[in-house]
A = this chain, B = another copy of it.
Amino acid sequence: MEDLRTLWLNTGVANLEWGMVLMVVVGAVLIYLAIRHKFEPLLLLPIGFGAILANIPLAGLAEPGGLLYYIYQIGISTGIFPLLIFLGVGAMTDFSAVLANPKMFILGAAAQFGIFATLIGAVALNWVPGMEFTLEQAAAIAIIGGADGPTAIYLSSQIAPELLGAIAVAAYSYMALVPVIQPPVMRLLTSKKERQIKMQQLKPVSKRAKILFPLMVLIITAFLLPTAAPLVGMLCLGNLLRESGVVDRLSNAAQNEIINVVTIFLGLAVGAQLSASAFLNVQTLGILLLGAVAFVIGTAAGVLMAKLMNVFSKDPINPLIGAAGVSAVPMSARVVNKEGLAANPQNFLLMHAMGPNVAGVLGSAVAAGILLALVS
Question: A: which residues have CB within 8 A of B?
Answer: 3, 6-7, 10-13, 15-16, 24, 28, 31, 34-35, 38, 41-42, 45-46, 49, 52-53, 56-59, 61, 65-67, 70, 78-80, 83, 87, 211, 215, 218-219, 221-227, 229-230, 233-234, 237, 240-241, 244-247, 249-250, 252-254, 256-258, 260-261, 263-264, 268, 370, 373-374
Residues in B neighbouring A250, C-beta threshold 8 A? 42, 45-46, 260, 263-264
Q: Nearest Cβ distance between residue A135 and chain B, in whole angstroms?
A: 11
Residues in B neighbouring A252, C-beta threshold 8 A? 260
CB-defined A-B contacts under 8 Å, sample of 21: A6-B373, A7-B370, A10-B227, A11-B225, A12-B223, A12-B224, A31-B215, A41-B247, A42-B249, A45-B246, A46-B250, A52-B218, A53-B218, A56-B222, A57-B222, A249-B260, A249-B263, A252-B260, A253-B257, A253-B260, A253-B264
Residues in B neighbouring A223, C-beta threshold 8 A? 11-13, 16
A374 to B7 Cα, complex, angstroms: 7
For the A-B complex with A3-B374, A41-B244 known, give 18 more contacts whose Cβ atoms are closer than 8 Å.
A10-B227, A10-B373, A10-B374, A11-B225, A12-B224, A12-B225, A12-B226, A24-B222, A35-B211, A45-B240, A45-B247, A53-B229, A58-B226, A61-B233, A250-B260, A253-B256, A253-B260, A258-B261
A7 touches B373 (CB 8 A): yes
Chain A to chain B: the 6 pairs with minimum beta-carbon distance, closest first: A59-B229, A253-B260, A41-B246, A10-B373, A58-B226, A56-B222
Copies held by the complex: 3
> Which residue of B is nearest A234, CB measured?
B67
Question: What is the predominant secondary structure among interface residues of chain A facing chain B?
Answer: helix
Q: Nearest Cβ distance between residue A221 and chain B, in whole angstroms?
A: 8
B257 touches A260 (CB 8 A): yes
Q: Nearest Cβ distance between residue A273 and chain B, in whole angstroms?
A: 17
A257 touches B257 (CB 8 A): yes
B219 touches A24 (CB 8 A): yes
A269 to B221 Cα, complex, angstroms: 20
Q: Nearest Cβ distance between residue A211 and chain B, in whole angstroms?
A: 6
Q: Nearest Cβ distance between residue A14 and chain B, in whole angstroms?
A: 10
> Which residue of B is nearest A69, CB measured?
B78
Residues in B neighbouring A35, C-beta threshold 8 A? 211, 244-246
A264 to B244 Cα, complex, angstroms: 14
B41 touches A67 (CB 8 A): no
A253 to B218 Cα, complex, angstroms: 31
A45 touches B241 (CB 8 A): yes
Q: Nearest Cβ distance between residue A16 and chain B, in whole angstroms?
A: 8
B254 touches A264 (CB 8 A): yes
